[in-house]
Amino acid sequence: MSLSDPASPIPAVQTSGLSRNYGTLAALDQIDLTVDQGDLFGFIGSNGAGKTTTLRILATFLAPSGGTACVMGYDVVKEADKVRHIIGYMPDFFGVYKDMEVTEYLDFFGACYKIPVAQREKTVADVLELVGLTEKRGALIGALSRGMQQRLGLARVLIHDPQVLLLDEPASGLDPRARIEMMAVLQELQRLRKTIIISSHILSELQTLCNRVAIIERGKLIYSGPVQGVREQVGSGRVIWVRVGTDQAEAIALLRVRPEVSAVVAVDGEIKVTLASQETDHSLVAEVLVKNGVRLLEMREDEIGLEEVFMQVTRGETQ
């Protein structure tokens, strides 16, 4: 697999005012999105939010009604042929030829991409190894499990060594083990400096998998940025949980008077401390308690998750 130039200033994907209308329905409404090279980018939204529409436009299968979209600097409308050579698009549902063997299937698509015959055998072997299907090279596709068929679909989009992967719900319908295996493959692809945009409903997995995410609802982009930046989007302060070995009421009183603390409550033997600002160092809590003779047993920060952010910044509206 080839490596992208990490020093290149060109975004892997960039859209400006991207819109798509179906009659009076705005499936996409002025989307401005930037995905940098090497990103493993999570695209989050309810059914009908506009995720698939966006990916289909980037894959050149659908023309935008307004705005622009570029992949590695190539316009998806004006330079569609160039875009198709550098992307790999995996839709949420894709057809497989169940009576073909795994290697025959990949060899067929290698021929479609005009990979020379002498090179195709090694290319097929490489992508099968990458997705963990080497032992199934001679199996009929119809005999593969759903998870293996999904990995075969990923192997198919990798056959021409694309720089950018557009994956629409690649873990849809998979059991927990198959999902974990699929996510491991995606992490390996990122290590190979592939740029990956993945839409998914499995937010807990995206949280640990992706370095950046975007949240979309009813065709509008609500958030786009680093995974660790989603806390600022919901506007809530950092939450610190504390257990003390002395008088809990005394600890609460000490913290409650601090201007850096917005709320302090006792919850099931612990103290829940909400800081007023994201910038406040949580060590302040320990410093206040210890300096005043409170015996501190445990302190941990309550990490906000993608699922919580998604529920807070969206309304569950569909189109």
Give the pLDDT confidence of 16-32 residue by residue, as tens digits.
999 999 988 889 999 99
- What is the mean pLDDT of the segment spanning 285-292? 92
Residue 4 scores a pLDDT above 50: no
pLDDT tens digits for range 39-61: 999 998 877 888 999 999 999 99
> What pLDDT, in 10s, does the model give residues 58-87?
999 999 999 999 999 999 999 999 999 999
Mean pLDDT, residues 206-215: 84
pLDDT(93) > 80: no
Query: Is the model's pLDDT at 237 over the cut of 80?
Result: no
Domains and CATH numbers, the chain: 13-232 (3.40.50.300), 237-303 (3.30.70.100)
Query: 3-state secondary structure string, the chain?
Result: CCCCCCCCCCCCEEEEEEEEEECCEEEEEEEEEEECCCCEEEEECCCCCCHHHHHHHHCCCCCCCEEEEEECCEECCCCHHHHHHHEEEECCCCCCCCCCEHHHHHHHHHHHCCCCHHHHHHHHHHHHHHCCCHHHCCCEHHHCCHHHHHHHHHHHHHCCCCCEEEEECCCCCCCHHHHHHHHHHHHHHHHCCCEEEEECCCHHHHHHHCCEEEEEECCEEEEEEEHHHHHHHHCCCCEEEEEECCCHHHHHHHHHCCCCEEEEEEECCEEEEEECCCCCCCHHHHHHHHHCCCCEEEEEEECCCHHHHHHHHCCCCCC
Higher pLDDT, 141 or 278: 141
**Exposure b/e, 60-73, CB count within 10 A at least 16 = b:** bebebeebebbbbe
Residue 149 has pLDDT above 60, yes or no: yes
- Among residues 152, 159, 157, 158, the alpha carbon closest in space to that of 101 is found at 152
Mean pLDDT, the chain, integer: 86
State the pLDDT at residue 233.
Answer: 59
Check pLDDT > 50 for residue 3: no
